[in-house]
Amino acid sequence: MPEPQTHPAVSFDNTAVAFASKSNAELRQMYALFAAMNNNSLVSFGGGVMKKALSWGIPGTKGIIKHTIFQQFCGGETIAECKPVIAELGKYHIGTILDYSVEGEGSEASFDKTRDELLRTIDLAAGNPHIPFSVFKVTGVADSALLEKVQAGQSLTILEQQAYERAQQRIDALCRRAHDKGVRIFVDAEESWFQATIDDLARDMMRRYNQQRPIVWNTYQLYRHDRLEALQADYERGVQEGYFVGAKLVRGAYMEKEARVAQQRGYRNPINPTKQATDDLYDEALRFSVAHLDRLAICAGTHNEASSRLLTELLADAGLAPGDERVWFAQLYGMSDNLSYNLAHAGYNTAKYVPYGPVEAVMPYLLRRADENTAISGQSSREFLLIKREMERRKNKVR
């Protein structure tokens, strides 16, 4: 048994570390933005107004959005615009995961365009120590209706079969480039009615490219009651077939939609009945993962302080160093800096998901972030209070 290690103490309330990269002016801007997001009706009304103003081409709208909510949650409109953000995060030992957040148009041309953009993110990651992962959504390079039809076991027409083969080729192109460049790549999780198809595709890529190390990482949404079992089965399959399994562990992103579709289609809701059940399952997945790092590597994609602290404790109890390459933490850019900066400061492998893309195309993502910050109990208030505390700390320090 390895000896437990004494890890550096991590305080997620240390605002001096959490906001070390922010000037006083930037803190004030964040304060105003999160104060606004505490207002549900303002977020709902403002989101609709922004969408309409953009679609109508009202002068100045894009600039306002770009220098407020876009600036908070996105790295830029292009890879080039993201480079200062990558460098800034890197100064604090936080990696960047460039997330091309343009939602596809569903055409073959748009899928090819997305593939080519994602290849560019992989190429950039290969030459930059501050970009530890690339990431893609399968629906960015494949039609969701086609994925659903495959999962349902329905016969494909000749044209559909050809389209599916092209989708497989795009996915292989991404994972092959990642393998050749030595870049780890996340396959994001999506809706349950085609997630099994995504899982099959991800496993195929792991078999192909994870022979020496975990290059391809699948994502497990632990708000689904069957995902710990899926993780355990994938680990066993990796052991039996001789490849490494990369696993990004998240709680999940489609709860209301999953419940609605399950009711409409008349099957059991795949989501856990309570938040506590999800929290328990997530933490159990962390315990399983740390106990099986012989063939498994994990990224805890979470904004939950209790789960983040648990993972630091599990690493210490297992005698593993904070910087063990098989274990990562990740949060979204613009959120939970108290987790990211304090974890990185203590030597844990930490990264930020940094979305990017044209303002108009990224609007759906931005509106989800705004809704999320009002919907998650205490999330926006938590951010707001931490920013307020840091502003007061700096004010008192000057005195």
| Lookup: tokens for 162 | 């050809």
Q: Report how far residue 256's alpha carbon sits from residue 258's, in angstroms, rounded to the nearest whole number.
A: 5
What whole-number distance in Å separates Cα of residue 189 and Cα of residue 379?
Answer: 22
Q: Domain 77-356: give its CATH code.
A: 3.20.20.220
Judge contact between 118 and 356, C-beta under 8 A. no
Which residue ranges make up each domain of the chain? 10-74+374-398, 77-356
Alpha-carbon dihedral sign for residues 207, 212, 215, 218: positive
Confidence of residue 15 (pLDDT cuts 50, 70, 90): very high
- Confidence at residue 33, expressed as pLDDT on a 0 to 100 scale: 83
Per-position DSSP letters for 237-279, written without gaps between them: HHHHHT--EEEEEE--S-HHHHHHHHHHHTS---B-SSHHHHH
pLDDT in tens, 338-369: 999 999 999 999 999 999 999 888 877 776 66
pLDDT digits (tens, 9 = 90+) for 44-103: 544 555 555 555 566 666 777 788 888 998 999 999 999 999 999 999 999 999 999 887
For residue 200, pLDDT over 60 is answered with yes
Handedness of CA 329, 286, 256, 264 (dihedral sign): positive
CA 69 – CA 298 distance, rounded (Å): 30
State residue 382's pLDDT score: 81
3-class SS of residue 319? coil
Q: How does residue 375 score in pLDDT terms, banded at 50, 70 and 90? A: very low
Residue 46 has what pLDDT? 46
Residue type, 92: Y
pLDDT band at 16 (very low <50, low <70, confident <90, very high): very high
Both tokens of residue 268? Answer: 């059991």
DSSP string, 123-163: HHHHT-TT--EEEE-GGGTS-HHHHHHHHTTPPPPHHHHHH
CA distance 387 to 220: 31
Output the pTM of the full model: 0.92
Q: Which residue has the tokens 């399959």?
A: 237
For residues 18-46, average pLDDT: 77
Report helix, strand or coil for 340: helix
Mean pLDDT of the 235-239 span = 98
Distance of alpha carbon 57 from the chain centroid = 31
Q: Which amino acid is at 396?
A: N
